Amino acid sequence: MTSGAAVPKLQVDEVWKHYGDFVALEKTSLTLREGEFLTLLGPSGSGKTTLLMMVAGLTLPDGGTISIDGKLATHAPPFKRDIGMVFQNYALFPHLSVADNIAFPLRMRRERDAVVREKVARVLDLVQLPHVADRMPRQLSGGQQQRIALARCLVYSPSIILMDEPLGALDKKLRDQLQIEIKRLHRQLGTTILYVTHDQQETLTMSDRVCLMNHGKIEQIGTPGDLYFRPNTVFAADFLGESNILPARLTGHAAGNAVLECPTAGGLVLVTGGAGCLGAVRIMVRPENLTLVTQAEPGWNAIACVVKEVIFTGSTTRTIVETRGGAALLVAGLTVESELSAAPGRSLVAQWRPEHTVLLPEEA
């Protein structure tokens, strides 16, 4: 790239879409840098697919602008956008062979036959399926078909590759394998990828940045770490990873810590660096940050609780406890065989560090 470094690959500016009364997407803006892997994450109906389809040109926005490579593309037809798209059900053309499928975008670009042949062979090597060129799509397994779909996008090096839940139709093991492979291709080729999924594990594994969406708008954008450790909203905290969320009141500050009153926890809670308006808030603690002890360490937050259930899942053990205030908490830790016998009914203390408390605004 010469001067293009400063120009974002994709610039979405205040686009929105309504279907009658239904708000598919509120005014949304988003920027995608060259070589970035950005995931649109959210439950179904959150607007992530609408946004992707607008970038692809398969849905037109009611307002706002979309620029690809610095060129205005809001109303450009899909075939003039220089994008690639991978569909959940692969969308390989059933009447064309694998090689013809991959050659399709090249032929549309009027490449010479020799070039087409060479590029097809090269990309088939890249996805490690050089031997299936002459087969028909139906003769391939699901995983192979998705790799061919990927190859069909990679072969013409589009500006951006859009992926709409590409691994949704595959089983767990294959999904894990292909996640790593897509990630490898992304790194190796430096492609810019806009990825849609509702699978949080997939998101955390693959993304450079995550755009969490809910009810037709962006809830939070950031690195996977940002979203996991510093969620901005209850929805973000709840959607990504497991969380214990308790209602609380911010009552004051002491020694750099915010002090909260948390009736369901049965006492006061400290939050490192917590700043905010006094009043109703929520606090969130990740299950892996909670430990169960008989005697709390000084300076830690502690809640007295009773063990309800112990669930052994292999390398980790999950314990459900109930606080005196009646709230259920999930505690997760590495399995220690001797602790498996923590019998239901035992009274313990759940403790965590103040810096592991995340302060969240009360939901509107």
Partner 1 sequence: MRDATAPHRRFRPAMWMLLPAVGFLLGLMLYPVSQLLLLSLQTKAGAWTGANYERLAAGAVYWRVLGITLRCAAWTTALSVVFSYPVAYLIATSTDRVRARLTFWVMLPFWTSFLVRTFAWIVLLGRNGVFNQWLQAIGLTGAPLPMLYSFPAVMVGMLHALMPLCVITMISVMESIDGNLSKAALTLGAPRGSTFWRIYFPLSLPGVAAGGLLVFISSLGFFITPALLGSPREIMLPQIIIQQVQELLNWPFAGALSVLLIVAVLVVFTGYDRVFGISSLAGTTAAGAGRPAGRVTRFGRMLLAGLGRASDLLGQALAGLQPRFRGAPPRGTRRMLWVAGLCALVFLALPAFLMIPVSFTTRSVLDWPPRGFGVSWYQAYLGSGAWLAATGRSFEVALLTAVLAMALGTPAAFGLSRGVRRGNGLILGLLLSPLIVPRIIIAVALFYLYAKLRLVGTTLGLVLGHTILAIPYVVVTMMAVLKTYDQRYDNAAWSLGANRLRALWHVTLPLLRAGLIAAFLFAFVTSFDELTIALFVTGGLETTLPKMMWDSAVLQVDPTLAAVSTLLLLLITCILLLAGWIGRRDRAVRG
Footprint on this chain of partner 1 (rule: CB under 8 A): 56-58, 60, 74-75, 77-79, 81-85, 87, 89, 91, 93-95, 97, 104-105, 108-109, 134, 136-139, 152-153, 156, 162
Q: How far is the CB of 93 from partner 1 (least distance, A)?
A: 6
Q: How far is the CB of 105 from partner 1 (least distance, A)?
A: 4
CA distance 148 to 168: 16
CA distance 61 to 55: 9
Q: How far is the CB of 43 from partner 1 (least distance, A)?
A: 20
Instruction: List beta partners, residue 211.
Output: 40, 221
Q: Which residues contact 134 (CB under 8 A, 6 or more apart)?
A: 97, 98, 99
Q: How far is the CB of 266 from partner 1 (least distance, A)?
A: 44
Nearer to partner 1, 75 or 184 (CB): 75
CA distance 305 to 6: 54
Q: How far is the CB of 44 from partner 1 (least distance, A)?
A: 17
22: left (phi over 0), alpha (psi -120 to 50) or beta: beta
Q: How many CB atoms lie within 10 A of CB 184?
A: 11
Q: How far is the CB of 152 from partner 1 (least distance, A)?
A: 7
Are residues 67 and 73 in contact, defined by beta-carbon separation less than 8 angstroms? yes
CA distance 102 to 8: 28
Which tokens in the block code for residue 289? 């940050």
Q: Which residues contact 57 (CB under 8 A, 6 or more apart)?
A: 73, 76, 77, 78, 80, 81, 83
H helix or E strand, kind and range, residue 104: helix 98-108
CA distance 180 to 185: 9
Q: How far is the CB of 135 from partner 1 (least distance, A)?
A: 8
Q: How far is the CB of 82 from partner 1 (least distance, A)?
A: 8
Nearer to partner 1, 48 or 286 (CB): 48
DSSP state for residue 362 in the 8-state scheme: P
Nearer to partner 1, 154 or 290 (CB): 154
What is the greatest pairwise CA distance in the chain?
76
Q: How far is CA 221 from CA 16, 211, 217, in A?
A: 18, 4, 11
Are residues 119 and 152 in contact, defined by beta-carbon separation less than 8 angstroms? no
DSSP string, 309-344: EEEE-SSEEEEEEEETTS-EEEEEEE--GGGGG--T
Nearer to partner 1, 8 or 105 (CB): 105
Nearer to partner 1, 71 or 346 (CB): 71
Nearer to partner 1, 169 or 330 (CB): 169
Nearer to partner 1, 113 or 134 (CB): 134
Q: How far is the CB of 141 from partner 1 (least distance, A)?
A: 15
Nearer to partner 1, 90 or 235 (CB): 90
Q: How many CB atoms lie within 10 A of CB 313?
A: 9
Nearer to partner 1, 90 or 228 (CB): 90
